[in-house]
Structure 1
Amino acid sequence: MTQSTRIAAGIASVTAGAALALWSTRELREAKRASAPGKHIAAARAFNHGSALLALSVLADSAMEHYRGSFENCAMYLPPVVAFCSLGAALHGGTDARAESHRLRRAIQICGAATGTAGTAFHLYNVTKRPGGLSWQNLFYGAPAGAPFALVLSGVLGSIAEQLRDEPEHDPQLFGMPAGKALALVAGAGLLGTAAEAALLHFRGSFQHPAMYAPVTVVPVGGVLLAHAAFASPRHAARASVFARLWLRLTAALGFAGLGFHVNGVVRAHGGWHNWSQNLFAGPPLPAPPAFSALALAGLAALRMRETER
């Protein structure tokens, strides 16, 4: 094992261990509150926290990447601005314990989801207009088609949190189904989408490090387990979510561990942090891995609701 690999493994282990310990403590505390009145408000606030972490990831990523592109198109200023507003709205919602939605927060989150959708369309257009059209080469080196999807997820989580606050306390519903079931499906779909983007970028990197297989194996399993818990009958929901809860904690820790590995990727580049202005752009994207942690947080909140649904 090379020295750089040992450093990466050490950073990732410490980061993941600390994150897992914090998440476990939080889960024990939240589990005690699961059957208490207002559990849907606790789930809404957890979705706000997930939305905030995703918005922060998009803010950092879009600001860096669009700066690298010299903001050639005026529309490139929009994602960082919208992500900043979404971050503020989500942080405000995460501290709000009222059982009613906030119109301005909801409008900002819907705007974020719409901006992310438009950004996905622009990025796909950028890929297809290149010579060769839709090809692996263009998917690898064109505008990242999956990057704006994180802003879509941030807006979706934030707007769902606002909608959930308006639901009745004892039988909250979303999209015509029990709220816990709907939340689990949304979080599971988000995990599968982010895993697909990680698979594309790590395939571009030829999976040169064994840890690069983790996001494409651990994260999709978390999405499948959430779907299984969502469709399990109410009487079996608690049993179905036991393993899913443990796996989502692992997924949450993986997001922070991935951040450690990406930091090490920047350090290993020529000049390290002394040449940060180049290595931050050329190295692995630092804001990407925490998206797994954000969605795992939302999935854990969904499981807590699902276990108490009749």
Structure 2
Amino acid sequence: MPATVVAARRLNRAAGTLAASVLADSSVEHYRGSFKNKAMYTPLLVSALTLGVSAHGTGDARPVAHRVRDASYLLAAATGLMGTGFHIYNVSKRVGGISWQNLFYGAPLGAPMAILLAGLLGFCSERVRESRPGQRPEIFDLPAGRTMAAVVAAGLLGTTGEAGLLHFRGAYHNPFMLLPVTLPPAGAALLASAALRGPGRDHNLTRWWLRLLAAMGFAGVGLHAYGVSRNMGGWRNWRQNLLDGPPLPAPPSFAGLALGGLAALGLMKDRSDA
């Protein structure tokens, strides 16, 4: 199988992981908001569509882009941009406007960016997949591997900012709450360095660090589940504590980005011109 198809399928898997996280997280958060605005159904529908086309792409071994997947990923990216605008409006219209109180308890500003990143990774996967044999894999005339590494690095920093804000609200009462604000920035720096240095280099440290981030993302679900259990009533009062406790679906967004970074490094390793 061509290296470009392998990388594309890995990117589809990363996009699907992010989409699954968004689907579960937005379902809980928007249910808590009683779907007051009918537009709140949009991220559920779009993330479900993105998850479906990502699963299709993960199983597709053909070296050609798929129009439905392409359109779905672009829709996901547009939804993320519009959702960010809606969330900024939600926070700014509250009494006090943009303030710590409203940033803590209003619509999370960084949450919609996860579906935007899923769309970007998926769109990149289709560009890599359609690369012609013998030609350098490119995204907008830029080397695909290095471009994806830069995109994932930026995504890690943004996701860290969102986690840092909410964990600051929780006063970092558990030392494990420091992990998502310390490990991802280091991973972003390593990926940025890989993007600048290019292929043909030893990126073993970056690769292992991304694997650590992926493990952290999935392990975070367990830590958040423990956080839910510490609320009054624990899991016996799950209907309330799932809504008010730490969000279970949020941490896997780090895993999705880490998988995207690993796909970029894999392509850079397999293709010296990527």
- Could you tell me how far 1:202 is from its partner in structure 2? 0.5
Structure 1: which 4+ aligned runs deviate by more than 3 Å?
none
> Do the aligned residues in 1 keep the contact of 2:80 with 2:114 (CA within 8 Å)?
yes
Paired position in structure 2 for 1:172: 137
Shift of 1:233: 4.4
1:169 Cα deviation from its structure 2 partner: 3.1
Shift of 1:187: 1.2
Query: Is the Cα contact below 8 Å between 1:180 and 1:309 reproduced in 2?
Result: no
1:69 to 33, 39, 50: 33
| 1:215 equivalent in alignment to 2:180 | yes
CA distance in 1, matches of 2:68, 2:139: 20
What residue is the counterpart of 2:72 in the other structure? 108
Correspondence for 1:24: none
Q: 1:127-276 maps to which residues of 2 (within 5 A)?
A: 127-170=91-134, 171-234=136-199, 237-239=200-202, 241-276=203-238
Correspondence for 2:240: 278
Alignment pair present for 1:288 and 2:253? no
1:15 aligned residue: none
* Cα shift readout 1:271-298 (whole Å, capped 9, x = no counterpart): 2222111010011000110011111111
Which residue is 2:267 aligned to?
Answer: 305
- Amino acid paired to 1:91: A
User: Root-mean-square deviation (CA), in Å?
Assistant: 1.1
* In structure 2, C-alpha distance between the alignment counterparts of 1:298 and 1:113, rounded to whole Å: 16
User: 1:20 corresponds to which residue?
Assistant: none
Cα distance in 2 for partners of 1:270, 1:186 equals 40
CA distance in 2, matches of 1:231, 1:168: 24
The question of whether the paired residues in 1 share the 8 Å contact of 2:153 and 2:191 is answered with yes
Q: What is the CA–CA distance in structure 2 between the aligned matches of 1:269 and 1:232, rounded to whole Å? A: 47
Question: Could you tell me how far apart the structure 1 residues matched to 2:32 and 2:267 are?
Answer: 42
Structure 2 CA distance, aligned partners of 1:161 and 1:61?
24
How far is 1:156 from its partner? 0.9
Gaps of 5+ in 1: 1-36
Amino acid at match of 1:251: L
CA contact (8 A) 2:16 2:118 kept: yes
- State the aligned residue count: 271
CA distance in 2, matches of 1:156, 1:178: 15
Q: Deviation per CA, 1:178-207, whole angstroms, max 9, x where unpaired?
A: 111111111111111111111111111111
Q: 2:215 is matched by which residue type in structure 1?
A: A
- Structure 1 counterpart of 2:11: 47
Distance 1:222 1:130 in 2: 35
CA–CA distance in structure 1, aligned partners of residues 267 and 196 of structure 2: 13
Maintained 8 Å contact 2:146/2:198: no
| Alignment check: 8 A CA contact 2:16 2:51 kept | yes
Identity %: 54
- Do 1:51 and 1:157's aligned partners in 2 also have CA atoms closer than 8 Å? yes
Q: Which runs of 5+ in 2 are unaligned?
A: none
TM-score (norm 2): 0.96
